[in-house]
Amino acid sequence: MTQTTVLRGARPYGESAADIVIADGIISGIVAVGSATGDDVLDVTGLVALPGLVDLHTHLREPGREDAETVDTGSQAAALGGYTAVFAMANTLPVADTAGVVEQVWRLGQESGLVDVHPVGAVTVGLGGTQLAELGAMAGSAAQVRVFSDDGKCVSDAVLMRRALEYVKALDGVIAQHAQEPRLTENAQMNEGPLSGVLGLTGWPAVAEESIIARDVLLAHHVGSRLHVCHVSTAGSVDIIRWAKARGINVTAEVTPHHLLLTEELVRSYDPVYKVNPPLRSAADVEALWAGLADGTIDIVATDHAPHALEDKDCEWGAASFGMLGLQTALSVVIETMVRTGRLDWRGVADRMSVAPARIGRATAHGHDIEVGAPASLALVDTEARWIVEPDLLASKSRNSPYAGMELPGRVEHVVKAGRFTVRNGSVCR
């Protein structure tokens, strides 16, 4: 017998309430409130239903740094944040640059079962930047890799970047570039500007990001391939991507939640929780990122969830690692910066956090509109609730949240992945 689940009184995209009926992993009906019956009827009156979120940029740290995060703890954080799929970056130990490593990560994700873990394959062997990795073998593996990135490092060699872009065309793949000109950012610690001078920290200039993006959109156009730009952080980058899209260049881009909410002013504290790469920028940059995400120049929000063990963050600024937690707070930050301000409606949020990232990463089981016949992967959100971020209560193994103590809107109450609850009443459900 087919088990039927009813989500009673859900509001798809914040619009009119309905009963969402789920059977065999599929949305089998969207009917008038109170009219559906089923084996498991959950009252979700008032909750906004979104397609399960998809994160194109997550660091899960396994294999190699299981003290900071594992595929399972990262998957818990993702599910609690409303995600049903994440893309795990390749900068693990060993690097995910072979079919063997990406299959290991993929299998760990299957075993955890809370989100679909799509491994990202490295572009170059060992992230060394000199020799192309076995992109075809990773694409043909059980992990079916479609996104390739040396994230954490930039593919700075123009010839190698050109070859990588050419290679992935045949794989229906995409190169996700961490745009950082290495010579312009040697020992860089924070955004370059008046404040970096005041604080005596080496600057990370906007031009180091913008010059790589400009080069890469031209390369992608020249070879007719697909480019994705990771964590866009400057106003100039938004302008270059807007120009490239207007010319028909096949480029997509992401912004992180922290670059939408936080500015370099926080670095005045010298608290390494605010140390991130690319760095927090100026208020004017943040405004340009809001506009770019609202008008679609920036296609998606991706977390760049970067857990770090205590000893890598609880030290002086210069010695601390770059990165911040993001999976459990991303939707709340987007609500705060984009929805409450009227820049995006719920359909816009669904597009930027589910539909578009699934399309870019070719995660075909995800990012479907909420309609009859679609896979039943949904996040149900209490958009009126407010909560205070307490890092000790987050599911991640690490504690480096820049939002500690901050009150944010929006709480994920339930998550369904392929018809099965992964989060119920705010708790992980296996």
DSSP of 3-45, one letter per residue? Answer: -EEEEEEEEETTSS-EEEEEETTEEEEEE-TT----SEEEE-T
Nearer to Zn ion, 80 or 176 (CB): 176
The least CB distance from residue 210 to Zn ion, in Å, is: 15
> Total binding residues for Zn ion by CB under 5 A?
2
Q: Give which of 215, 221, 103 is closest to 154, Cα–Cα.
A: 215
For this structure, is 304 an active site residue? yes
Choices 67-75, 174-182, 187-195, 335-343; region in contact with Zn ion by CB under 5 A: 174-182
Q: Are strands 53-58 and 48-51 parallel, antiparallel or unpaired?
A: unpaired
Nearer to Zn ion, 192 or 254 (CB): 254
Hunting for tokens 């509109």 — which residue is that?
A: 369
| Spatial separation of the C-alpha atoms in residues 275 and 201, rounded to whole Å | 11
Nearer to Zn ion, 322 or 421 (CB): 322
Nearer to Zn ion, 141 or 185 (CB): 185
Strand-pairing partners, residue 415, are 379, 423
Distance set, CA 400 to CA 74, 100, 272, 395 (Å): 13, 30, 9, 12
Residue 50 DSSP SS3 = strand
Nearer to Zn ion, 55 or 151 (CB): 151
**Contacts of 411 by beta carbon, 8 Å cutoff, 6+ apart:** 332, 381, 382, 385, 387, 426
Instruction: Determine contact, residues 149/89, Cβ cutoff 8 Å.
Output: yes
The least CB distance from residue 392 to Zn ion, in Å, is: 27
DSSP letter assigned to residue 79: H
Binding mask 92-131 for Zn ion (x = CB under 5 A): ----------------------------------------
The least CB distance from residue 427 to Zn ion, in Å, is: 31
Nearer to Zn ion, 178 or 414 (CB): 178
Instruction: Determine contact, residues 281/290, Cβ cutoff 8 Å.
Output: no
Binding mask 127-166 for Zn ion (x = CB under 5 A): ------------------------x---------------
From 8, 178, 305, 399, residue interacting with Zn ion (rule: CB under 5 A): 178
Structure-token pair, residue 160: 């190698």
Indicate whether 275 belongs to the interface with Zn ion (CB under 5 A): no
The least CB distance from residue 255 to Zn ion, in Å, is: 12
Choices 47-55, 161-169, 172-180, 332-340; region in contact with Zn ion by CB under 5 A: 172-180
Q: Which residue is nearest to Zn ion (CB)?
A: 178
Active-site hit among 55, 72, 299, 304: 304
Instruction: Determine contact, residues 38/6, Cβ cutoff 8 Å.
Output: yes
The least CB distance from residue 162 to Zn ion, in Å, is: 21
The least CB distance from residue 361 to Zn ion, in Å, is: 16
The least CB distance from residue 31 to Zn ion, in Å, is: 44
The least CB distance from residue 402 to Zn ion, in Å, is: 16
Distance set, CA 137 to CA 82, 89, 143 (Å): 32, 17, 10
| Spatial separation of the C-alpha atoms in residues 194 and 320, rounded to whole Å | 22
Residue 55: CB atoms within 10 Å: 31
| Spatial separation of the C-alpha atoms in residues 51 and 116, rounded to whole Å | 14
- The amino acid that residue 2 corresponds to is T
Nearer to Zn ion, 11 or 59 (CB): 59
- The amino acid that residue 110 corresponds to is Q
CA atoms within 13 A on the CB side of 339: 25
Choices 94-102, 170-178, 342-350, 365-373; region in contact with Zn ion by CB under 5 A: 170-178
| Spatial separation of the C-alpha atoms in residues 382 and 379, rounded to whole Å | 10
Give, as ranges, the residues between 189 and 248 that touch Zn ion (CB under 5 A). Answer: none
Binding mask 380-409 for Zn ion (x = CB under 5 A): ------------------------------
Choices 80-88, 173-181, 217-225, 236-244; region in contact with Zn ion by CB under 5 A: 173-181
- Show which residues are catalytic: 304
Which residues of the shown chain bind Zn ion in the complex (CB under 5 A)?
A: 151, 178
